[in-house]
Chain A
């Protein structure tokens, strides 16, 4: 146990976490240069393309220190987006220390601070690492000042590196060995293992990533998940090198995997404790929370024939994403589909993209919504996340919507603009802190429904990329709500309906009309788009038809070319949904929530 070091890298988005992980892996020689792909821990294509980590992963790095001792360094990667902050906390709970990575040109950002607090909550050893010192805009001195003033850490204990060029990697590895304490634990105690990730493998079922706090896990052990009380027989345990490496046991302090014939990832709850069925530990490890979806949208196949395929794809998809929920749903306009729950909008984007990419499905998502709460006159309380089930207005006694506490950090010069944005989003109860001169931390309470879509994008635009954002859902508050319907050529499109704050109905209706006008391609006839509340039209726009598109010549040599073009257009049209005789592209359904960036 003395030779083990369990650590994580935490950073604001784009501060170079994946690149540093790559460099550490390369340095440890786990992977030959020949097979090295950038961002090796981000195994999904989509992660590599977007440069973000969606799922946590772990890797064991064998390292011989300058003291000539051999160490086992377990790097536990964490997701880097607000949608996944619970997963981050479970990964951190599995560590004794963290590298707190800070971009030398951008300095300390909101998630740097948020992540630091998380690390402190877990009593972790914190090693500040200033990255990207190769950049011409790097300002190490200023970053050190921020580490002192804003993070309250000793700036002279920070390391500097360029993960890109490889400068400073050796020093980081040495600091991990000498500054992060070895894990504590007792092999003789009953097994207590913390689940921090689970991934689906088509051949082996669920691969559980865990950290052993006490006891040991071996083949043949009957283990129990303490939260749902399910038991399984262990088939294999081991460590993650670049691929899984079988071992005869995992002992206290180890980070590794357990395979135990668990069919789906949703049978495994991140944060749950694994113990031995016959000799359980006295209490589960602290911090378990069930990840709850906060954003909801329906998914429909564009071609109704694809419904069965979609059902199969969702079933397979949930094998590997326990925080995604779904149930059957149907829409007048879009037919049979599924109502799905997501951790946030990024999560929604990812699910959509993966369904399309990995399962080759053309799908439409309805306008995303949060979960509203209605108290009816008969005393019933109903939670509604689907505008289709909006209660009859005559029966509503009280309506409520979820609120969040949003924490934003940005240079002081943007304060006015950000305050304006937050007020526009019905923000309330603000507090303002100055962690350092010129930098403000602004906390606002806001309705979740106002921020789910474009808030973060707009904040980034307003602050020219310097603003950061983090949030927690806090409670439900009373709010005057209304159902905004959208009609296309007179047909009500239920999948475009939104539940809105009544005071915003007109603005939202106008915006939806404008967005649809941008998204729906001109067709051979006029298209009227209307927004309506309670049967009353509150906004309207029309898309004028195109009148002339014909190419003059079509003789022997033109026919094949013309047909190929038509085939391409037909394929494109298959990705649109026909509402009456109007073809509505996929993008239109989510676009209605987006506002124009200013």
Chain B
């Protein structure tokens, strides 16, 4: 299967690894710090795979996310991938990504990942400043990052993405640029730059509420966002989604694109979300409930929603407006029977005047300024 944009329509497979060695001070994501549950989790995961045999077709991406997948002992990813290959068909050249913590990426781990077919690493670098790393509660240092990156290249990884974080309390744009410069020197194929979001119930949230720390105001957030985009695009990266930059467009995360293009995906593991046709469902967040259900040979699904055409249309609009690729207005009209050009003509003209969107060759796409307000654009 192929489509106009040259992107695959094959479904993607997401595997959630709910373990972390320690909790970062901003993260409220569900994870378990005890590793005792790992064997049970692997078994359950393989059982869950069997339940979805024959439903999704041939996957062309596998993505291990977390939590911290690299908390799993070496060769565990191999075991899981063997399970994947047993239960599902994969294309000839699937993108297999593992999210990794720099500290875990020693030669043993890297070789084990590389040998079992992992061809893309997404490394949670976050910063090239040790003070900031410790403020965030990360386990690693800048030195760990450097050696992880060097080792990954040595082992043979040619598709490496790094995650960075900005708009951190007390951080200046200059400091952030220093981190970006270090990142560029490492020449990763992909860079994700996330504005720090502090989840509820986390230590940083408590400091924020007590007034001990504060987040940058809207103007500064805007500056961070725009200057990051300028800096990285000047360095040759494509700002292809709100937080994502690819060395070349074909180095964009194939897996993540599926979320934004309404392409089916199967999520396995606690809290993972799946999407097929007009249905989306998600697993229990709690590892124990997840394991319990699978023990009873039951799908560990917490909730399923059937999306109406209106809902799919709204999602397509909001997801499309988060990507540089934008929305093909003809396709959109055919699929959702909404003629945006006609129905929203005044508003689109206004937003175009404001420099927030472009409309060219039947494509509606956000500009750099538009990406900064991508949460409101779909309300046109």
List chain A residues, Cβ under 8 A from B318. Answer: 562-563, 566
**What's the Cα separation between A563 and B219 when bound, in Å?**
26
Contacts A547-B222, A566-B378 known; A554 to B372 CB distance under 8 Å? no
Tell me if A556 and B347 are in contact (CB < 8 A).
no
**What's the Cα separation between A560 and B319 when bound, in Å?**
11
For B313-337 the 0/1 string (1 means CB < 8 A from A) is 0110011001000000000000000
A-B pair number, CB within 8 angstroms: 100
List chain A residues, Cβ under 8 A from B272. Answer: 556-557
**What's the Cα separation between A573 and B314 when bound, in Å?**
15
- B361: shortest Cβ distance to chain A, in Å? 24
Closest to B167 in A: A552
Contacts A525-B354, A554-B242, A560-B305 known; A548 to B319 CB distance under 8 Å? no
- A572: shortest Cβ distance to chain B, in Å? 9
B225 CB-CB contact with A under 8 Å: yes
For B9-20 the 0/1 string (1 means CB < 8 A from A) is 000001000000
**What's the Cα separation between A506 and B353 when bound, in Å?**
32
Contacts A525-B350, A556-B267 known; A547 to B219 CB distance under 8 Å? yes
A549 CB-CB contact with B under 8 Å: yes
**What's the Cα separation between A566 and B318 when bound, in Å?**
9
For B346-380 the 0/1 string (1 means CB < 8 A from A) is 11001101101000000000000101111111110
Tell me if B314 and A550 are in contact (CB < 8 A).
no
A36 CB-CB contact with B under 8 Å: no
Tell me if A570 and B379 are in contact (CB < 8 A).
yes
Tell me if A552 and B314 are in contact (CB < 8 A).
no
**What's the Cα separation between A553 and B195 when bound, in Å?**
9
**What's the Cα separation between A592 and B233 when bound, in Å?**
46
Contacts A559-B259, A560-B305 known; A548 to B225 CB distance under 8 Å? yes
Most chain A CB within 10 A, of B194, B218, B305, B379, is at B379
**Which size bracket describes the interface of A in this complex?**
20 to 34
Tell me if B373 and A549 are in contact (CB < 8 A).
yes
- A582: shortest Cβ distance to chain B, in Å? 10
Tell me if A551 and B375 are in contact (CB < 8 A).
yes
List chain A residues, Cβ under 8 A from B375. Answer: 549-551, 562
B70 CB-CB contact with A under 8 Å: no
List chain B residues, Cβ under 8 A from A553. Answer: 194, 197, 243
For A565-598 the 0/1 string (1 means CB < 8 A from B) is 0110110010000001100000000000000000
Closest to A581 in B: B350
Tell me if B273 and A559 are in contact (CB < 8 A).
yes
Closest to B349 in A: A581
Tell me if A554 and B259 are in contact (CB < 8 A).
yes
Tell me if B194 and A524 are in contact (CB < 8 A).
no
**What's the Cα separation between A280 and B207 when bound, in Å?**
82
List chain A residues, Cβ under 8 A from B322. Answer: 550, 554
For A511-540 the 0/1 string (1 means CB < 8 A from B) is 000000000000011000000000000000
Contacts A547-B373, A553-B197 known; A559 to B319 CB distance under 8 Å? yes
Tell me if A556 and B194 are in contact (CB < 8 A).
no
A434 CB-CB contact with B under 8 Å: no
Tell me if A566 and B351 are in contact (CB < 8 A).
no
Please pick, from B218, B256, B265, B305, the residue contacting A547 in the complex, using a CB distance under 8 A.
B218
For A172-204 the 0/1 string (1 means CB < 8 A from B) is 000000000000000000000000000000000
B176 CB-CB contact with A under 8 Å: no
Tell me if A548 and B354 are in contact (CB < 8 A).
no
For A385-412 the 0/1 string (1 means CB < 8 A from B) is 0000000000000000000000000000
List chain B residues, Cβ under 8 A from A560. Answer: 273, 280, 282, 305
Tell me if B371 and A550 are in contact (CB < 8 A).
yes
- A302: shortest Cβ distance to chain B, in Å? 16
B260 CB-CB contact with A under 8 Å: yes
Tell me if A524 and B351 are in contact (CB < 8 A).
yes
Residues of B8-47 at the interface with A, using a CB-CB cut-off of 8 Å, are 14
**What's the Cα separation between A154 and B283 when bound, in Å?**
76
- B190: shortest Cβ distance to chain A, in Å? 14
Closest to A580 in B: B346
**What's the Cα separation between A432 and B259 when bound, in Å?**
74
**What's the Cα separation between A580 and B349 when bound, in Å?**
12
Please pick, from B221, B319, B373, the residue contacting A554 in the complex, using a CB distance under 8 A.
B319
A555 CB-CB contact with B under 8 Å: yes
Please pick, from A548, A557, A569, A581, the residue contacting B373 in the complex, using a CB distance under 8 A.
A548
For B335-346 the 0/1 string (1 means CB < 8 A from A) is 000000000001
Please pick, from B242, B259, B353, B369, the residue contacting A556 in the complex, using a CB distance under 8 A.
B259
B245 CB-CB contact with A under 8 Å: no
For B233-246 the 0/1 string (1 means CB < 8 A from A) is 00000000011000
Tell me if B197 and A524 are in contact (CB < 8 A).
no
Tell me if A524 and B377 are in contact (CB < 8 A).
yes
- A87: shortest Cβ distance to chain B, in Å? 45
Tell me if B260 and A554 are in contact (CB < 8 A).
yes
Closest to A572 in B: B379
List chain B residues, Cβ under 8 A from A117. Answer: none
Please pick, from B271, B275, B372, the residue contacting A548 in the complex, using a CB distance under 8 A.
B372
B311 CB-CB contact with A under 8 Å: yes
List chain B residues, Cβ under 8 A from A581. Answer: 346-347, 350
Tell me if A546 and B373 are in contact (CB < 8 A).
yes
- B167: shortest Cβ distance to chain A, in Å? 9
- B197: shortest Cβ distance to chain A, in Å? 6
Tell me if B271 and A557 are in contact (CB < 8 A).
yes
List chain B residues, Cβ under 8 A from A550. Answer: 225, 242, 322, 371-375
List chain A residues, Cβ under 8 A from B282. Answer: 557, 560
List chain A residues, Cβ under 8 A from B218. Answer: 546-548
List chain B residues, Cβ under 8 A from A551. Answer: 197, 375
Tell me if A559 and B379 are in contact (CB < 8 A).
no
List chain B residues, Cβ under 8 A from A546. Answer: 218, 373, 376
**What's the Cα separation between A559 and B354 when bound, in Å?**
27
Tell me if B315 and A563 are in contact (CB < 8 A).
yes
Please pick, from A524, A562, A570, A580, the residue contacting B356 in the complex, using a CB distance under 8 A.
A524
**What's the Cα separation between A570 and B273 when bound, in Å?**
25
- B308: shortest Cβ distance to chain A, in Å? 11
Known pairs A549-B373, A549-B376, A562-B375; list 18 more (Cβ under 8 Å): A524-B356, A525-B353, A525-B354, A547-B218, A547-B219, A547-B222, A548-B221, A550-B322, A551-B197, A552-B242, A553-B194, A553-B243, A554-B260, A557-B271, A559-B280, A562-B318, A563-B311, A570-B379
Report, nearest first, the 5 A-B pairs whose CB atoms are least far apart: A548-B222, A556-B273, A552-B194, A547-B222, A550-B374
24 contacts between A and B (CB under 8 A): A524-B376, A525-B350, A547-B219, A547-B222, A547-B372, A548-B222, A549-B373, A550-B225, A550-B322, A550-B374, A552-B194, A552-B243, A553-B194, A554-B242, A555-B259, A556-B14, A556-B272, A557-B267, A557-B282, A559-B315, A560-B280, A563-B315, A569-B379, A581-B347
A residues lining the B interface (CB < 8 Å): 524-525, 545-557, 559-560, 562-563, 566-567, 569-570, 573, 580-581
